[in-house]
Each structure stands twice: as structure tokens, then as C-alpha cells.
Amino acid sequence: MTTADLSALADATAAAVGGAVSVMDPAGYVVAYSSLPGQPIDDVRRDGILGKQVPAEYMAHHTDENFRRSCTVRVVAVAGVLPRLAVPVTSGGEYLGSIWCIVPTVAVSPPEPAVVAALQRAAAEAVPLLSQRPQAVGVEKPRARELLTDPTAVTPDGQLYTVLATRVQSDRPDAAAWRLRGMLELTFGQQLDSGAVVIDGAAFLVMRSETHFSIDEFEHVRRRAVSALGIPVTFAIGGPDERPSTARVHAQWALDACEDGSSTIVFDDVRVGATLRRAGAALSQVPLSLPAVERMLACDAAEGTDYAATVLALLAHESNVAAASASLYLHPNTFRYRLRRTKELFGLDLDDADTRLLVWMSLRLRAEP
């Protein structure tokens, strides 16, 4: 299939119906449009063509599930926008896209039967054309799934991979994940060793790291996904790494550190916090704390003291009392007094390196959400 095939269909439909036509894919991308002179257009059409996607404020009409499941021509009238006729393109219950035609007269009278018939014929003719587009193909690339899930997957020596992990907040998460996968495949999946798959109900994208997509480009796609799906969408990036399965793990760790709908982040930017959270989860069943630490924490809880915060500050600042006391806005002498009291009250000995490590792990991991 070529874009010319769909453009020819758009021109033929525009001639038959008497209005400018746009052909959309399921994600709201404008894949073809008519170019016949003299037909009225509006800013929504201009913006859609220039941006190659339905503008966000108009997307709700494009993503209406009732429309997607229907086989009828719908009149869409929005204030400040020229009226349109829209018809879904479906095959075997799969939504492949839609055809939209500007017809100003439908604002005052129902569309003529010949116009409706022309749009329905166009929808039928669009099925084989839209079916061949990458995002309409339901079959994932086996290579992409292998790279993401098999740590032993063979890759070229020295080749680095980047992985995008995603999360959607939806009452139909599986359907949303598959739609998001289609958008990612269409946008990024045309390179060698790249592709988007759904794993455990979430969409992931793997690609070679020399494919130069900036975080801003991923963020742009995330925002378009939010508009297309009408739900919060979150992106996190792992890699580059020679093992794509490791990059996927790191992307997931970064994703777990994100709030729903937050901007795209990179694992390296949250590596320390994300790793500590994972370590805390892994060691949650291991009794790390010394009895002295437990007594200290119990005292803080019962008496409102800050002995644990004092000890943690000392360890975090590598026993530099001046820096540690400043971090708590305490006079150094007050800080030293608290440290002496931890030894007197709880028997906490911070002179031993191994004890300091265990105390730090216990307090630091406990502080992670």
C-alpha cells in the first residue's frame, strides 16, 4: 500500500460527496486527505493535516467507542467547526480507522442517501488499504518480544538497546495497552531490531540505541497518546544497554517511580532512588535492623525524639558532623550530644564499619516509600 492509494480514495470520495475528506488511522493520525480545489475547510482540518493527527480538542469524537463499533455514517457537529460526516472503517470487528468528510449542509438537513452510500463504499474500499498499515496489524514482531523477554537473546556484539516502558490508567487497560502498542509501532517500530509488544498488559518498545530519538520526542508521543486514548499515559526509558531485557527492567523500575500521567523520565535520572526502592522491596522480609536500631525507632515513635534522623544524617554525610548537623539545622554540639545519647540509651556503636553499613541500610531503606 502507498499513501497515494489512500489519497486517490480520498479525492474520489471528496468528488462524490462534495466535501473535503480526511482518512484517519485508529490512533488519530491523518494518513491521507483529499486535495480537490474549491471545497470548504476549517482550522481542524488544517491542524490535522499539518500535525498529521487529529487535534486534541477534537479527538473525543474520533475515539468514541460507540462510533468505532458502528457501521453507520454519523453526523458530527461541533460549535465553531464545519459539520462533518464520519464513517468507521472496520473488518471482522477490528477498527482500522475512519473517513471524515466536511459537508456544511448536514447542519440544517440530513445527508442525502447518495452521500451516505458514497461514504459507505469508501469505507469498504479503505479496508484493504488500512489493513496493511503497521498499526493495524495485530501480530507483534517475534524478534521484539524475544529481545524484551529473553536474557539469552543473541544480539550483535557491542549493540546497545533502549526500551520504553508504559503504563495506562484505564478501566479497560488491556485494550488501551494494545492501542498504545499500535501507536508506538507506527512511530518507532520501523527500524531494524525494533518493535512494540504487550507484556503482562503493558506496552513496551525496544529499539537500537543509535536510532536517535530524544526524550522530547518520546514525550511528544506520550502527550499524543493521552489525547488519542483520553486517559493518563506514563512513559519511562531504560538503557542504553547491551541486553535489552536489562534495559526493560530498568525502564520498569523508572516507571514504578513515576506518578500516573507524569512526564517521560529516563532511568539514569532516577537510578539511585529506583534501585533503593527495589532493594527495600527485595529485603522487606529480611530482618536487617539491629536490636539497638529497633529500640531507637521505638523511642522516636513513643517520645517524639529524632535519634534515627540524627544517625541517618551522620551516615549520609560520611561522619562529617558539621555537614550532618547543618542538614538538620542543629548546632554541632547538639548533634554530638544526640549521638552520645544513642549509645547510652540504645547501645548503638557506630565505630564499626559493618555496623554502620547495616544501620544505614535499615534506616535508609525504611525511609523509601
Residues 95-124: tens digit of each pLDDT: 888 999 999 888 788 889 999 999 999 999
The per-residue pLDDT for range 213-228, each reduced to its tens digit, is 688 889 988 988 887 7
Per-residue buried b or exposed e for 241-259, using 16+ beta carbons within 10 Å of the residue's own CB: bebbbebbbbbbbbbebbe
Q: CATH no. for residue 207?
A: 3.30.70.270
Give the pLDDT score at 95: 85
For helices 3-17 and 113-131, give the axis angle rounded to 10 degrees.
180
For helices 142-149 and 244-256, give the axis angle rounded to 10 degrees.
70
Give the pLDDT score at 137: 42
Same domain? For 103 and 26 the reply is yes
Show the domain range for 58: 3-136
Q: Which of 223, 252, 282 is the last residue of a domain?
A: 282
The per-residue pLDDT for range 283-332, each reduced to its tens digit, is 666 666 678 888 899 999 999 999 999 999 999 898 899 999 999 999 99
What's the order of all strands across the beta sheet hosting 202-208? Answer: 195-199, 202-208, 161-168, 233-241, 265-266
Q: Which of 263, 282, 301 is the last residue of a domain?
A: 282
Distance, CA of 93 to chain centre: 26
Distance, CA of 343 to chain centre: 49
Same domain? For 130 and 37 the reply is yes
The per-residue pLDDT for range 22-71, each reduced to its tens digit, is 998 877 778 888 988 889 988 888 877 766 556 655 666 777 778 888 88
Give the angle 146-92-10 at the CA atoms, nearest 5°: 100
Mean pLDDT value across the chain:
84
Q: Is the whole model's pTM more than 0.85, yes or no?
A: no
Q: CATH no. for residue 306?
A: 1.10.10.2840
Q: Which of 255, 282, 309 is the last residue of a domain?
A: 282
State the CB neighbour count (10 A cutoff) for residue 277: 17
Give the pLDDT score at 87: 92
And the C-alpha cell for 238? 531504560
Distance, CA of 226 to chain centre: 9
For helices 173-188 and 215-229, give the axis angle rounded to 10 degrees.
140
